[in-house]
């Protein structure tokens, strides 16, 4: 009975980033000592604080299943989805929770998404057709092999962990960034799409694929195994081959 009581009384310390622009000019850290449960993830701990300790704490979350991507934060300096990051991996040591790196902070753990959203639209991650087939022609069909070319790049959940991990984006905010480029490449590889040349004109710039130095941290932290670094390298190769074709066969590109 005593052993069960001891387990029930275990606690863990969370050091949480706080920034309330109407109250303070600089962010601070607030320490919370909360009950420790082996089956809790970091998001459970934050929800406990929000519900039982400090209702003013601000952060984003939705599905709790690693699908929506909204609960991304820095956990002990590493970009993580807090809905799939277990307290037991850190216990009994304190856990420091911060907003995703490389983004402006709106309040507490909630970041400003405007830059990412603008860059996502900029690369045109949708199917572009120069001429649509009539409806009576039926669906645009694909073989399983054609689907496999881009399917893993389509799994991006827009969690922005890759942006928080990317040293290039941290140093050069104009960099389009890993997720946006991966989604652009997803459509470049889609057999139904005809907008590859248009997108490559956007991506084949210093702010696009050529800013990347292949550190690879974007792929390391990706919870959906999208491999943004691989997408960028594919786009670099396609851009280089396109340039070579234009030089060697200029009349073929008119």
110 three-class SS: strand
Between CA 230 and CA 37 the distance in angstroms is 38
What are the angstrom distances between the C-alpha of 149 and each of 155, 191, 192?
Answer: 13, 9, 12
Between CA 194 and CA 82 the distance in angstroms is 38
Q: Map out the domains of the chain with their CATH numbers.
A: 2-111 (3.10.20.30), 114-253 (1.10.1060.10)
What sign does the dihedral 61-64-67-71 (CA atoms) show? Answer: positive
| Six token digits for residue 83 | 């809905």
pTM over 0.75: yes
In tens, the pLDDT along 153-189 reads: 999 999 999 999 999 999 999 999 999 999 999 999 9
In tens, the pLDDT along 86-102 reads: 999 999 999 999 999 99
């Amino acid at each position: 009975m005593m052993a069960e009581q001891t387990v029930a009384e275990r606690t863990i310390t969370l050091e949480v980033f706080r920034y309330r622009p109407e109250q303070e000019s600089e962010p601070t850290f607030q320490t919370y000592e909360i009950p420790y449960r082996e089956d809790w993830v970091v998001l459970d701990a934050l929800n406990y604080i929000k519900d039982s300790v400090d209702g003013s704490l601000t952060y984003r979350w939705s599905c709790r299943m690693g699908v929506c991507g909204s609960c991304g934060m820095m956990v002990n300096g590493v970009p993580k989805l807090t809905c799939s990051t277990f307290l037991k991996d850190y216990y009994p040591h304190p856990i420091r929770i911060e907003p995703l790196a490389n983004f402006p902070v709106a309040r507490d753990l909630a970041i400003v998404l405007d830059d990412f959203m603008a860059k996502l639209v900029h690369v045109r991650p949708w199917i572009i057709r120069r001429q649509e087939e009539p409806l009576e022609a039926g669906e645009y069909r694909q073989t399983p092999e054609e689907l496999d070319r881009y399917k893993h790049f389509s799994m991006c959940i827009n969690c922005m962990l890759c942006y928080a991990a990317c040293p290039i984006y941290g140093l050069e905010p104009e960099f389009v960034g890993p997720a946006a480029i991966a989604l652009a490449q997803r459509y470049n590889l889609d057999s139904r799409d005809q907008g590859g040349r248009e997108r490559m004109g956007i991506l084949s710039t210093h702010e696009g694929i050529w800013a990347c130095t292949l550190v690879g941290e974007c792929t390391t932290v990706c919870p959906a195994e999208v491999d943004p670094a691989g997408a960028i390298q594919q786009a670099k190769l396609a851009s280089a081959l396109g340039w070579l074709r234009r030089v060697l066969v200029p009349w073929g590109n008119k």
